Amino acid sequence: MMKIFGYDEKDCSHVMLGGYRPFAYLDFALGTGYQYGLLRIAVTVVFADVANVPDYRFDVKAMAVTLALFVVLYESIMYFYTKEIKGLSLKEIMLA
């Protein structure tokens, strides 16, 4: 419907898909903290009596690589769906 009123594909994709972007990055940050906390508890509490368990430390380099890969993958998916929105005709939308 936005296409009928003259909005370009950038505006359409921003309205339809842009709202997911902050939540995706926030969930990445929360998930990283959650996983670190769980592993830290597992190593210090659950395996406290087990011999030769190494200390668990947060690996900043691995997190940076994972964040970069996540951003590239997520933005690629958003780009793909933006192109899909561009290819939709009004007739296809109304018949669905």
Task: Quick: pLDDT tens for 14-72.
Answer: 788 888 899 999 999 999 999 999 988 888 887 778 888 777 788 899 999 999 999 99
Domain ranges for the chain: 9-87
Q: How far apart are CA 39 and CA 19, in angstroms?
A: 31
Confidence at residue 16, expressed as pLDDT on a 0 to 100 scale = 81
Between the CA of residue 44 and those of 31, 52, 53, what are the distances in Å? 20, 12, 9
